[in-house]
Amino acid sequence: MPSHPPRRLLIALLLCAFITPLMSPARAALPMADSQNAPLPTLAPMLEQVTPAVVNISTRGRVQVQGNPLLQDPFFRRFFNLPEQPSHRDTQSLGSGVIVDAANGYILTNSHVIDKAIEITVTLQDGRRLNATLVGADPEADVAVIQVPAENLSALKLADSNQLRVGDFVVAIGNPFGLGQTVTSGIVSALGRSGLGIEGYEDFIQTDASINPGNSGGALVNLRGELVGINTAIIAPGGGNVGIGFAIPTNMSQQIMAQLVKYGEVKRGKLGVSAQNLTPELAHAFDIQQATGAVVVQLAPDSPAAAAGLQIGDVIISVNGHDTASAADIRNQLGLLRVDDKVKLEILRGNKKLTIKTRIADPEPNKIEGKQFDTRLEGTLFSRIEEGSPLFGQIDGVLVVETKANSRAWRAGLRKGDVVVSANRHNVSDFTSLAEALKTSRRGILLNVVRGSSALFILIQ
């Protein structure tokens, strides 16, 4: 009679047979598709909806050639048998744009993409080529609006860019290097970037999604396919993309677009305040607990800010309900307002919080012909001393930017670069005070000017 193995031994053998395959070494292998054929994560469905709204923009322009004066002389050319020198040359550029209003054919892009263009051509994703007209451009913020015939266009929905957070995924779409529509992805690296010297008004979204030449004016979208920014610039110390790109937030570009569509330009007003960043040292000196803000350092005479009671040393902490962290915030927030718009400033004066209400005033023109003040100043062009000038904040006066040879002012000794600080013994700080001072000029115009490190009087009769 055959012997049977003990019951415990039989159970042990069965367990060993079951466990041994599970303990075998793991082997590297491609993942197998599951039985449900679940799709892999992809941006393709979103991009299929978005890319028809991103267009290629090509322009043809003409710029003046700064030639050698000798080559422009007919006698010199005849003597050396030289051909006629061209006074202009044609230019071409490529960029991108975003359709944001399909019903009216409005396209957002960068101002530098269409700068000096005499012909603008838009190429859609479906291959159509449309002639575009310029609605308006704002070089200070690098935003422009162009228009094409509204025929079967697709537009992007605009997101609230204030809801963006560092770490959000974004996708950049454009036409880099003229290759055709290209997509890159990344995240939002930083928000509110300013002080880069790229534009006059800066409040950039920083992203590591590649923004290459030709991507300018293209779309930066979130994962829902909504427009969050207009691609604008990169930092490329070695000439290539290093993962630091910048886009103009849609909230900013949308405000500028509204003015460009309605007025054809952005007419910025004047509050009359200059500010600097609040530092820990200044906060300690002012004996305040506030960590961020903008300290008022200068007030223009007879400006809305001065008339409303703002004082030098006040710390601005918000404008129209929006927190102010720096002087750049002040510039950006006020730069989007038009003449007569209301302004509510929250300030700290010492440890006391105050609210100041005022309005944006019509700014003085940047330059004025001298003959508008007095016929004896014909041939002279005056300018305000603007922010960015080495003289700004150093001297009060009106800058002479041109004096035509043999004009009265030129013969009297007035020269380009002079700063008029008084006229007829009255102090001059702006165009208004210069006009008032020149009302008493019956026997001549007596100007006190600063020239470099010296000063002199000039009498124009």
295 plus 351 within the same structural domain? yes
Whether residue 93 lies inside any domain: the answer is: yes
CATH number at residue 81: 2.40.10.10
| pLDDT band, very low/low/confident/very high, at 10 (cuts 50, 70, 90) | very low
Q: What is the pLDDT of residue 68?
A: 55
User: Which residues neighbour 114 within 8 Å (Cβ) at sequence distance 6 or greater?
Assistant: 57, 59, 95, 120, 134, 137, 144, 146
216 plus 310 within the same structural domain? no
Whether residue 41 lies inside any domain: the answer is: no
Dihedral over Cα of 255, 258, 263, 264: its sign: positive
Q: Tell me which of 339, 359, 379 is where a domain ends.
A: 359
User: Which residues neighbour 379 within 8 Å (Cβ) at sequence distance 6 or greater?
Assistant: 370, 371, 403, 404, 407, 408, 409, 410
Q: Tell me which of 208, 241, 263 is where a domain ends.
A: 263
Q: What is the pLDDT of residue 116?
A: 85
Whether residue 109 lies inside any domain: the answer is: yes
State the total domains in the chain. Answer: 4
Inter-residue contact 119 to 129 (CB < 8 Å): no
Phi, psi angle pair for 216, to nearest 5°: -55, 130
Whether residue 9 lies inside any domain: the answer is: no
> For residue 370, which of 429, 435, 424, 425 has the smallest C-alpha distance?
435
371 plus 355 within the same structural domain? no
243 plus 310 within the same structural domain? no
User: What is the extent of the structural domain holding 168?
Assistant: 161-263
DSSP state of 158: B
93 plus 166 within the same structural domain? no
Q: What is the mean pLDDT of residues 24-32?
A: 42
103 plus 174 within the same structural domain? no
Calculate ∠ Cα 263-265-269, nearest 5°. Answer: 95
189 plus 172 within the same structural domain? yes
Whether residue 390 lies inside any domain: the answer is: yes
Token pair listed for 58: 């090509």
How many contiguous H segments (helices) and E segments (strands) does the chain have? 11, 25
142 plus 179 within the same structural domain? no
Token pair listed for 39: 């799709």
419 vs 455: CA distance, rounded Å: 9
Q: pLDDT for 44-91, tens place per residue?
A: 899 999 999 999 998 887 655 555 555 555 655 666 666 665 555 666
Q: Is the pLDDT of residue 269 over 70?
A: yes
Whether residue 2 lies inside any domain: the answer is: no
Q: Which residues pair with 247 in a beta bridge?
A: 205, 231
Q: pLDDT for 372-399, tens place per residue?
A: 888 899 999 999 887 667 887 788 899 9
Place of tokens 């003959």: 371
Q: What is the mean pLDDT of residues 96-109?
A: 94
Place of tokens 């700063």: 419
Bigger pLDDT: 6 or 295?
295
User: Which residues neighbour 262 within 8 Å (Cβ) at sequence distance 6 or greater?
Assistant: none
308 plus 384 within the same structural domain? no
Q: Is the pLDDT of residue 198 over 90?
A: no
Q: What is the pLDDT of residue 75?
A: 57
Q: What is the mean pLDDT of residues 9-19?
A: 40
Whether residue 42 lies inside any domain: the answer is: no
Active-site residue set:
112, 142, 216
CATH number at residue 351: 2.30.42.10
Q: pLDDT for 150-191, tens place per residue?
A: 888 999 999 999 899 999 999 999 876 666 788 889 999 998
Token pair listed for 270: 């004047």
Q: What is the pLDDT of residue 94?
A: 79
> For residue 342, which of 359, 356, 361, 330 has the smallest C-alpha distance?
359
> Mapping DSSP to helix (H, G, I), strand (E, B) and coil, where does residue 328 land?
helix
Whether residue 348 lies inside any domain: the answer is: yes
333 plus 415 within the same structural domain? no
436 plus 371 within the same structural domain? yes
Inter-residue contact 278 to 247 (CB < 8 Å): no
444 plus 409 within the same structural domain? yes
Q: Tell me which of 263, 287, 313 is where a domain ends.
A: 263
